[in-house]
Amino acid sequence: MPNKLEVRRSALRKIREKFLESFSAVMPIGLIVLLLHFTIAPMPGGMFGSFLVGLLLLIVGMCLFSLGADLSMMPMGERIGAQLTRSKNLKFLIVTALVMGVLITVAEPDLQVLARQVPAVPDKPLIFLVAAGVGLFLVAALLRIIFQKSLRLILMVCYGLVFFLAIWVQPGFLPVAFDAGGVTTGPITVPFILALGIGVAAVRGGRSAHDDSFGLVALCSIGPILAVLLLSQFYDAAGGAYGATVPETPQSLGEIVSQYIQAFPHYAKEVLIALLPILGAFALFQVLFLHLPRRQMIRVGVGAAYTYVGLVLFLTGANIGFLSAGNFLGGAIAALSYRWVLVPIGMVMGFFVVAAEPAVHVLNKQVEEISGGTISRSAMLISLMCGVAVSLGLAMARVIWGVSIWYFLLPGYLVALMLTLFVPKIFTAVAFDSGGVASGPMTATFLLPFAMGACQAMGGNVLSDAFGIVAMVAMTPLLAIQILGLWSVYRQKKQPREKFALDETELIEMEG
């Protein structure tokens, strides 16, 4: 048994590693904003100060969240998933998954933000129908693992239905529907849902268990899209004007501090409400089935506290410091005579901002562990960064020239679905999971306001031109990760030929 000193040193080493990871993930986007501020788009002093405070909160918050996900969110999800499978009670699994999916989604902070930004639909119908969509598709995702059904086939059928319904939808609702699929898979739900699938697949076993460990986030992203498409049949997209709430620009250091102090209770309440369904479900399973020892429960409790504090800090920093900065920078750059520069700037932002999404690192770590290192964290991250860079470039092109999102989503998803026929199953599952994971709080609080600010400065239609950026960010990882899968297949086929050529050369040398 390690003594207390060794345990303390190990904990400090882990915190230091997580802090360095968070710092290296968040600072690049911070440096880009600093470069823009000191060159072509200087921000007001108070806004710049607020951004710097937000940057610090993001780094610390992401560090604590990452620690908490390792200690509590992942273990809770895996144990609940494993117990649901061991019970061999299909009704119990269906009811539990449905209730948890609905409750977790209703409490998702990003969904609350989305609902407030869609004036054509009342908040409550949108939130509860989207939550029902997530709950139903979470049930479907777990049943798929248990009965070993093809994820590729399910994705093709579901997205076929999505695009069939999209034909009859008013143009203003299409970006909203695909955005809903992205915002419901936030930093709170992703670690838990990922772990739930891993737990179910591990207990079910079989040769395809590691492939089936992923795909839950992918299917849970489809439910909200279908829900909004169905809801659009009962509301008029022109029923209101789109508007987002941007925090007021502080004028002094005192106002900056006051702004953050006033915001903390709001986000503390939001995160608590979002975490309660997961913690409550785990507590119930602990009492009825798990009976984990006190030491493990303390570990889970400490991890939950890290997760809670980390997310409060992260969301406060993102919503107060980054939202205003993003909106201002987008408007300032769009007002330049050379507004085309939005496209390359957007691509650079997209490349780095995905690394600051907390759930991305959780997914990448799980993929590396489950695949036994076949799919490395670095390869995953670089692929996602390249994919999101492309999506932001295209999104900025939409803002400048008012191109319909149809021309991007339809061919993008068709190519992504076609690629599923040629790549290993695990790459398909991971790719479609990545789409939901990449479009997290940084997209909602920085990239979307950036696009909105640019669109408003050019007098465009925010609802149809700027909205949909979450959808674009969610689409390109589907292509990027599956292209990585094609490259992996190519390398595996090439290696035996290279080895044979090498052996032949060595034989000739020996004979010589």
- Which of 181-190, 234-243, 467-476 is predicted with the least confidence, judged by mean pLDDT? 234-243
Contact between 335 and 457 under an 8 Å Cβ cutoff? The reply is: yes
Q: Is the pLDDT of residue 28 over 90?
A: yes
Q: Could you tell me the pTM of the whole model?
A: 0.87
Q: Where are the domains of the chain?
A: 21-241+267-511
Contact between 199 and 81 under an 8 Å Cβ cutoff? The reply is: yes
Q: Is the pLDDT of residue 496 over 70?
A: no
Token pair recorded at residue 259: 């702004």
Q: Is the pLDDT of residue 420 over 70?
A: yes
pLDDT band of 507, cuts 50, 70, 90:
very low
Question: Regarding predicted confidence, which is higher, 445 or 288?
Answer: 288
Question: Regarding predicted confidence, which is higher, 202 or 245?
Answer: 202
Q: In the prediction, which pLDDT does 512 show?
A: 46
Q: Is the pLDDT of residue 423 over 70?
A: yes
Tokens 């409060």, located at residue = 312
From residue 314, alpha-carbon distances to 104, 188, 496 in Å are 19, 12, 47
At residue 383's C-alpha, the angle toward residues 381 and 385, to 5°, is 65
Alpha carbon 415 to its chain centroid, in Å, reads: 21
Give the number of C-alpha atoms closer than 13 A to the C-alpha of residue 67, restricted to the C-beta side: 26
Q: In the prediction, which pLDDT does 118 show?
A: 67
CA–CA distance, 386 with 214 (Å, rounded to integer): 22
Q: In the prediction, which pLDDT does 242 show?
A: 47
Q: What are the tens digits of pLDDT across the range 358-396? A: 888 888 888 888 877 788 888 999 999 999 999 999 999
CA–CA distance, 220 with 185 (Å, rounded to integer): 8
CA–CA distance, 102 with 95 (Å, rounded to integer): 11
Which of these, 358, 330, 340, 270, lies nearest to 469 by C-alpha position?
A: 330
Handedness of CA 281, 286, 292, 297 (dihedral sign): positive
Q: In the prediction, which pLDDT does 207 show?
A: 64
Contact between 94 and 147 under an 8 Å Cβ cutoff? The reply is: no
CA–CA distance, 121 with 224 (Å, rounded to integer): 14
Question: Regarding predicted confidence, which is higher, 3 or 374?
Answer: 374
Q: What are the tens digits of pLDDT across the range 311-361? A: 999 999 998 999 899 999 999 999 998 989 999 999 999 999 998 888 888
Token pair recorded at residue 253: 């250091």
Token pair recorded at residue 312: 């409060």
Residue type, 330: G
Q: Is 318 left (phi over 0), alpha (psi -120 to 50) or beta?
A: alpha
CA–CA distance, 13 with 19 (Å, rounded to integer): 10
Q: What are the tens digits of pLDDT across the range 89-120? A: 889 999 999 998 898 888 777 777 677 666 66
Instruction: For the chain, give the number of residues.
Output: 512
Q: Is the pLDDT of residue 502 over 70?
A: no
